Amino acid sequence: MREKILDFLKRKEGYTSGDQLASRLGITRQALWKHIQELKNIGYDIVAVPHLGYRLISTPDRIFDFEVTCGLLTQFIGKKIYYFESLASTMNLAMQLGLQGAPCGTVVLAEHQARGRGRLGRHWLSPKYKGIYLSLILRPKMLPQGASILTLLTAVSVCEAIKESVGLETRIKWPNDILVGNKKLGGILTELNAEMDKINFVIIGIGLNVNNDKKTLTGSATSLKEQKKEHINRITLVQEILRRVESNYSLFENKGTAPIIEKWRQDNITLGKRVKVYCQKEHIEGEAQDIDKDGGLLIRNDSGLTQKVMAGDVVHCR
């Protein structure tokens, strides 16, 4: 009902009569009043004027599930969204939901994470109401060894969504850091629940610095607000990310990895560079030549030998 009321109020420039609104929604005026109070309690500024009705003045800067769902128009991604003010990590909750059988496309969103995590066991800073902290459950029919393609697919989707919704060009550092220049804007974390020969489900975690102010960012990080010098609408950005992930996921299901790898090649800044890749105990240095069909990075060292790495931390040397 909240969605319907907001939809009406957002469409109307002036006041909407309470009688008209209640009868359109098939509820009593009293029930409508109760819903309006609930909306006001969560931050919607709605004025009520006798004989004129209700008018929406402003909406809160929150990524409420019902706001994201409204007008999303996807087939399966984001059909069910779980929204929280605060969580330890959206990854943990998505993992629990996955184990309970949540369908492919289920999304977990939080306004804040107390223990947000990044790749290689790092902490992911998740200040309240500033970023996008999202985990998505996918159930692909594929071998666990092939799952890296989903990380690349998500990185491409996030770049496309930022371009479309914010008008900013971003680049991908292998495998999945989203950069502007050489500063990090966001990252993707993929976790699997799998057997040797079958993925049960995958959790894709997306973390993006959106409205973080410069003073709250470390030197090597940036935010969309810092880049665009304006406040960014997180709802439209989340919606666009979900749409892009869905269309690229369908592309992958229908045409395989090749078109995704091609898109990733277009968006990346790692290929052609001299890199150092830190993997567990060693590091590999050389020229990043290409990625293979599984998303592994091919590095040619100074002796001319090409090695493939599937995970690690890349430093661009020049």
Residue 200 tokens read as: 């049960």
> What dihedral do alpha carbons 285, 288, 291, 296 form, nearest 10°?
10
Q: How far is the CB of 98 from ligand BTN (least distance, A)?
A: 14
**Cis ω on the peptide bond leading into residue 175 (within 30° of 0)?**
yes
Choice between 35 and 117, CB closer to ligand BTN: 117
Choice between 59 and 89, CB closer to ligand BTN: 89
Comparing CA positions, the residue from 182, 180, 174 lying closest to residue 210 is: 180
Q: Cβ distance 108 to 90 under 8 Å?
A: yes
- Which phi and psi (to 5°) does residue 240 adopt? -65, -40
Q: How far is the CB of 170 from ligand BTN (least distance, A)?
A: 13
Indicate whether 204 belongs to the interface with ligand BTN (CB under 6 A).
no
Among residue numbers 160 through 179, which ones bind ligand BTN (CB under 6 A)?
Answer: 177
Out of 207, 286, 295, 312, name the contact with ligand BTN by CB under 6 A.
207
Indicate whether 270 belongs to the interface with ligand BTN (CB under 6 A).
no
Nearest-angstrom CA–CA distance, 223 and 131: 9
Q: How far is the CB of 161 from ligand BTN (least distance, A)?
A: 15
Q: Which residue has the tokens 């990185």?
A: 155
Q: Which residues pair with 290 in a beta bridge?
A: 298
Choice between 56 and 238, CB closer to ligand BTN: 238
Q: Cβ distance 298 to 284 under 8 Å?
A: no
Q: How far is the CB of 149 from ligand BTN (least distance, A)?
A: 17
Q: How far is the CB of 173 from ligand BTN (least distance, A)?
A: 10
Bridge pairing between strands 183-195 and 177-180: antiparallel
| CA dihedral (285, 288, 290, 294) positive or negative | positive
Q: How far is the CB of 92 from ligand BTN (least distance, A)?
A: 8
Choice between 205 and 286, CB closer to ligand BTN: 205
Indicate whether 133 belongs to the interface with ligand BTN (CB under 6 A).
yes
Neighbours of 64 (CB within 10 A): 21
- Which phi and psi (to 5°) does residue 45 adopt? -95, 105
Three-class DSSP labels, 30-86: HHHHHHHHHHHHCCCEEEEECCCEEEEEECCCCCCHHHHHCCCCCCCCCCCEEEECC
Q: How far is the CB of 113 from ligand BTN (least distance, A)?
A: 5
Q: How far is the CB of 247 from ligand BTN (least distance, A)?
A: 21
Out of 102, 153, 188, 314, name the contact with ligand BTN by CB under 6 A.
188
Choice between 109 and 288, CB closer to ligand BTN: 109
Among residue numbers 53 through 92, which ones bind ligand BTN (CB under 6 A)?
Answer: 89-91
Choice between 59 and 157, CB closer to ligand BTN: 157
- Sequence-ordered list of residues with C-beta below 8 angstroms from that of 199, at least 6 positions apart, any chain: 139, 140, 141, 142, 143, 144, 147, 192, 193
Out of 32, 68, 134, 136, name the contact with ligand BTN by CB under 6 A.
134
Residue nearest to ligand BTN (CB): 187
Residue span 90-129 as binding mask against ligand BTN, x where in contact by CB under 6 A, dash where not: xx---------------------x--xxxx--x-x-----
Query: How long is the chain?
Result: 318
Which spans of this chain sit near ligand BTN (rule: CB under 6 A)?
89-91, 113, 116-119, 122, 124, 133-135, 177, 187-189, 205-207
